[in-house]
Amino acid sequence: MTSRSRILLAIADAPLSQGVAGHLRQVTGWTVTQVAEAAEVLEQAPNHHLAVIDEALDGPALCLKLREAGIGLPLLLLGAAATARCCGIEAVLPKPLRLPVLAARIRELLARPAGLAIGRWQFDESRSVLNGTAGAMVRLTAKEAAILARLHRAAGQVVARETLLDEVWGYGAGIDTHTLETHIYKLRRKLGGGVLVSENGGYRLESLS
């Protein structure tokens, strides 16, 4: 990510927001947009590379709303570590804040690989999501993510149905091909046409990085 990364700073406390924004602009050169209400976060988030959200803005619930809206940018919550279980939060920093630590954590999140390129998506296996342009995000079930990861590792080669049933569901699971084909059907709808191809009794990915 370049020095002109766009950071959305959602802190209701005006003096704290001003202090954090000033530090980030001075030390990093990032563009920092300050907002103080949840509605502004939902509106502005798709135009930024990362959002810093204060738990005082009902942060965990707000992060969940962002994910439910299909917005996939990294989220850093300011607050208690226990809230890390909230859906879609990449990192949590406790308060009171140490500004150099905050800047370093943001740099780390911005530097993370965007994911595996599959068609028009970036596949984030660790979060089971497909990230698209302009903050678009599609959620995958655990089985869908496992299938996609296995097909990606095959690097465009066909993976047999039996192999997927074995490796994704495991031996003796009593799963038939109808179950697999149902998952494949749903994955195709999420990926879009021409990406997940049936061939020679198995499946492969047509568009890889």
Q: For helices 14-28 and 99-111, what crossing angle results, to 10°?
A: 60
Nearest by Cα to 148 from 125, 127, 120: 125
Rounded Cα gap, residues 156 and 207, in angstroms:
8
Between strands 137-139 and 129-131, the pairing is antiparallel
Q: Which domains does the chain have, with CATH numbers?
A: 6-111 (3.40.50.2300), 116-205 (1.10.10.10)
Interval 115-136: pLDDT, tens = 788 888 888 887 788 888 766 8
Is the per-residue pLDDT at 2 higher than 60? no
Q: Is the peptide bond before 96 cis (omega within 30 degrees of 0)?
A: yes
DSSP code of residue 208: B
| pLDDT at residue 160, rounded to an integer | 93
Q: For residue 23, which phi and psi values (nearest 5 degrees)?
A: -65, -45
| pLDDT at residue 173, rounded to an integer | 59
- Are 140 and 148 contacting, i.e. CB atoms less than 8 angstroms apart? yes
Q: At which residue do the structure tokens 């308060």 appear?
A: 95
Interval 48-103: pLDDT, tens = 999 999 999 988 889 888 877 777 788 999 987 545 544 568 788 988 899 999 99
At 97 the three-state DSSP class reads: coil
Is the per-residue pLDDT at 198 higher than 90? yes
Global pTM? 0.61
Q: What's the farthest any 2 CA atoms get from each other in the chain?
A: 63
Handedness of CA 184, 185, 190, 194 (dihedral sign): positive
Between strands 31-35 and 6-10, the pairing is parallel
Residue type, 26: Q
